[in-house]
Amino acid sequence: MKLKEIVLAGALLLSSSAALSQNKLKFDVYSREEGLLKLLNSSSLRINSEQIDFSFLFDIYSMEFQKLTDSTYREIVRNNFLWQAKDEFFDYSKDSCYTLLSYSAVRGKPREEKKALVERRFDKKYLSLPELFKDFEEGRLENGDSLHFIVNGMPYSVKIKRRENQDSIIYSSSLEDIIKREPGDIIICPYPIEVYAIEKDGKFVPIGFSTELLRVKNGKKIPINGKLREEKD
């Protein structure tokens, strides 16, 4: 899976969740390949309306989405894979809409295609991922709505579905129209992503999510499941 695809898959998981209290909600994220009986707790997710921290595959990749102030926003993408390690920083300013102010990288060379995006100004419909939480928290996202968000200096839009069962609300979407298979792909995320939420004290709270990754070479699927961690008193 290319870094762009991992970031987008993580972003959709995050943006599909309900909004949160000021204390970060903590999720354990499990994965299991076909033929393995044991679920591996390989990743973690911590989120609130100010910051999102997501680590993927034993911290090989991690993402941070930080609302620094009402007018500044930062994304950090860390790749800790051997011989390809790199930390990338995307800083934005906001007046009526977002502008990518700067892009930089340490522990590796910056990407020329990202450097070329600096000073790009986005349509006002595109939001940071933390900003999307408020709409979820207050239940303003309906079946058929689209999410418009910025990741790594690029705008993306995905349509969501919403349905209810007896004990939860389920949001779902897919990256199929965004992520296309390319030469060199190892893992892609073409399958639907589902996020499960409950209504509590007048707000929507995510309690879990699920999706599958696909190993391109052998066609094997890797289930990914996230579960809200129960905090002990």
Instruction: State yes or no: pLDDT of 4 exceeds 60.
Output: no
Cα–Cα distance measured from residue 202 to residue 103, given in angstroms and rounded to the nearest whole number: 39
**Can you list the alpha helix ranges (DSSP code H) found in 68-128?**
112-115
Q: Which residues contact 126 (CB under 8 A, 6 or more apart)?
A: 97, 98, 148, 149, 150, 155
Q: What is the pLDDT of residue 233?
A: 43
Q: For the segment 94-128, what is each residue's pLDDT rounded down to a tens digit?
A: 999 999 999 999 988 898 889 999 999 999 999 99
Mean pLDDT computed over 181-194: 69
Select the more confidently predicted residue: 17 or 10: 10
Contact 117, 153 (CB under 8 A): yes
Extract the tokens encoding 135: 């709409």
- Quote the Cα angle for 60-100-94, to 5°: 115
pTM of the entire structure?
0.77
Summarised one tens digit per residue, pLDDT across range 55-85 is: 877 777 788 999 898 899 999 988 887 777 8
Task: Using pLDDT thresholds of 50, 70 and 90, give the confidence band for residue 19.
Answer: very low
pLDDT confidence of residue 93: 96
Average pLDDT over residues 137-161: 86
Give 56 or 168, the one with higher predicted confidence.
168
Work out the pLDDT band at 6, boundaries 50, 70, 90. Answer: low
pLDDT for 213 beyond 70: yes
Mean of pLDDT over the chain: 80
Is the per-residue pLDDT at 130 higher than 50?
yes
Q: What is the pLDDT of residues 177-187, one digit of tens each?
A: 776 665 555 66
- Cα angle 233, 230, 36; round to 5: 140
What is the separation of C-alpha 42 from the centre of its chain, rounded to a whole number of angstroms?
16
Structure tokens at 65: 């989405």
Burial class (CB in 10 A: 0-12, 13-18, 19+), 232: exposed
**Neighbouring C-alpha atoms within 13 Å toward the C-beta of 206:** 32
Distance in angstroms (rounded) separating the CA atoms of residues 178 and 39: 28
pLDDT of residue 125: 95
Helix (H, G, I), strand (E, B), or coil: what is residue 103?
A: strand
Per domain, the residue ranges of the chain are 3-228
Q: Provide long-range contacts, Cβ within 8 A and 24+ apart, for 171-176.
A: 171/16, 171/141, 171/195, 171/197, 172/16, 173/12, 173/16, 173/147, 175/5, 175/8, 175/9, 175/12
134's enclosing H/E stretch is helix 129-137
